[in-house]
């Protein structure tokens, strides 16, 4: 009898082990695979989100056009940025502008620069590159009339700060409120001609123009 009970217990134990062991091993395999699947599905961190993308901006600007040794007039208008943000640090873009000239003479000034730009910690930008521009303006008062204009070329330094920066919907492009300072140092030939009511006239040509400009606007980069 005792031998029969012992055999029954052994057989029952073997049957139980055989039945439940595969399920237990399968559960262990599923639990082991779960972390791996979670790791594969995890999205890239913000630090990894750094792809080539479009860069653009629109800004209101104002400043001065100073013709060395002759006169200084005001400028007010708009500028933009069209190009690519290669990485979070480096961008390459054209920066066209259109301004109204006012002061001693009034008219229109247009220009554009091609800038390589470096953005640090998403809060400050430094850009530099070649610049070209042209303007034409006239002015008349009670005693004389003045006409000025010319083609200018040289270089530009662009600085900007971003007091407000947010991430775009794609998690890569940044959107910012930008406060900018551009300094254009230009050569070329700027001519000025003046005719007075008393019959006298004069003309001059200047080969250096400085154009400092402040700007406020929106930037996506």
Give the domain ranges of the chain.
1-42, 53-220
Distance CA 221, CA 90 (A): 10
Top-level class of domain 53-220: mainly beta
Contact assessment for residue 195 and residue 201, using Cβ atoms and an 8 Å cutoff: yes
pTM of the model: 0.75
Query: What percent of the chain lies above the pLDDT cut of 90?
Result: 64
The mean pLDDT value for 165-178 works out to: 86
Contact assessment for residue 73 and residue 105, using Cβ atoms and an 8 Å cutoff: yes
Task: List C-alpha distances in Å: 40 to 30, 36, 43, 48, 170.
Answer: 15, 6, 8, 15, 20
Given this model, what pLDDT does residue 176 score? 96
Given this model, what pLDDT does residue 31 score? 54
């Amino acid at each position: 009898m005792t031998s029969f009970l012992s055999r029954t217990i052994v057989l029952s134990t073997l049957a139980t082990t055989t039945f439940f062991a595969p399920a237990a091993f399968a559960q262990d395999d599923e639990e082991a695979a779960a972390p791996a699947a979670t790791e594969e599905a995890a999205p890239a961190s913000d630090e990894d989100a750094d792809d080539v993308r479009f860069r653009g901006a629109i800004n209101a600007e104002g400043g001065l056009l100073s013709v060395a040794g002759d006169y200084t007039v005001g400028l007010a208008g708009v500028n933009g940025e069209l190009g690519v943000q290669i990485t979070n640090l480096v961008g390459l873009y054209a920066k066209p502008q259109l301004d109204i000239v006012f002061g001693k003479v009034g008219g229109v000034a247009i220009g554009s620069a091609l800038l390589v730009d470096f953005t640090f910690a998403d809060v400050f930008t430094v850009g530099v590159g070649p610049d070209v521009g042209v303007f034409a303006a006239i002015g008349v008062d009670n005693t004389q009339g003045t006409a000025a204009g010319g083609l200018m070329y040289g270089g530009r330094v662009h600085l900007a700060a971003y007091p407000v920066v947010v991430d775009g919907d794609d998690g890569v492009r940044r959107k910012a409120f930008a406060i900018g300072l551009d300094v254009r140092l230009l050569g070329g030939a700027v001519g000025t001609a003046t005719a007075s009511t008393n019959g006298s006239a004069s003309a001059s040509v200047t080969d250096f123009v400085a154009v400092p400009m402040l700007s406020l606007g929106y930037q996506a980069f």
